């Protein structure tokens, strides 16, 4: 297959065509990195009985306090199909409360329990541990973050 040769050797007709090779694809690097990183979080989060998406919800609640599900979804870019059962599990673990708003009976307010708020102190170690494991300089991590955010904005807009 011509794709197994370096670009310089390929026929001109294929020169401007993007490769179908796995190793040429930034998308696969992204896909693999996301799973590898989530796997790295797992042993850390196991100590709190949290999954990575659940940890993200806790981050938002620690930062913003009580929020309706809708707002959680906007911040995390997740829909109700994901959040509704996830939040019920967090509630079952005693970390959050779910309460209908009196002002708008459609809305469900999510707030931290004492126990959920407590967890924050112990969780402070996690970002540093992950930062260590990632092995990127602050500049590199910042660059990746900025480029990924542009990527997300671009592909979301072109839908």
Measured CA to CA, the distance from residue 22 to residue 14 in angstroms comes to 17
Report the partner that residue 30 touches, choosing among a second copy, DNA, none (CB closer than 5 to 8 A by kind): a second copy
Measured CA to CA, the distance from residue 119 to residue 46 in angstroms comes to 13
Measured CA to CA, the distance from residue 133 to residue 147 in angstroms comes to 21
Residue pointed to by tokens 């930034």 = 26
Q: Tell me the residue length of the chain.
A: 159
Report the partner that residue 82 touches, choosing among a second copy, DNA, none (CB closer than 5 to 8 A by kind): DNA
User: Minimum distance from CB of 103 to a second copy (Å)?
Assistant: 25
> Going along 2-145, which residue ranges are E strands?
67-68, 96-100, 108-112
Query: Which residues of the shown chain bind a second copy in the complex (CB under 8 A)?
Result: 1, 3-4, 17-22, 25-41, 52, 56, 59-60, 62-63, 75-77, 120, 123-124, 126-128, 130-136, 140-145, 147-152, 154-156, 158-159
Query: Which residues of the shown chain bind DNA in the complex (CB under 7 A)?
Result: 35, 38-39, 42, 51-54, 68-70, 73, 77-87, 89, 98, 103-109
């Amino acid at each position: 297959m011509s794709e197994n040769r370096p670009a310089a050797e390929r026929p001109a007709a294929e020169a401007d065509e993007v490769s179908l090779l796995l190793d040429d694809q930034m998308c696969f690097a992204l896909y693999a990195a996301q799973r590898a990183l989530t796997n790295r979080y797992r042993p850390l989060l196991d100590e709190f009985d949290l999954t990575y998406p659940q940890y993200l919800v806790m981050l938002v609640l620690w930062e913003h306090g009580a929020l309706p599900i809708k707002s959680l979804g906007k911040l995390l870019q997740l829909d109700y199909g994901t959040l509704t059962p996830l939040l019920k599990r967090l509630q079952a673990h005693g970390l959050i409360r779910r309460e209908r708003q009196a002002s708008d009976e459609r809305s469900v307010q999510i707030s931290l329990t004492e126990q959920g708020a407590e967890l924050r102190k112990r969780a402070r170690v996690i970002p540093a541990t992950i930062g260590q494991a990632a092995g990127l300089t602050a500049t590199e991590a910042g660059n990746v973050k900025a480029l990924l955010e542009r990527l997300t904005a671009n592909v979301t807009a072109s839908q």
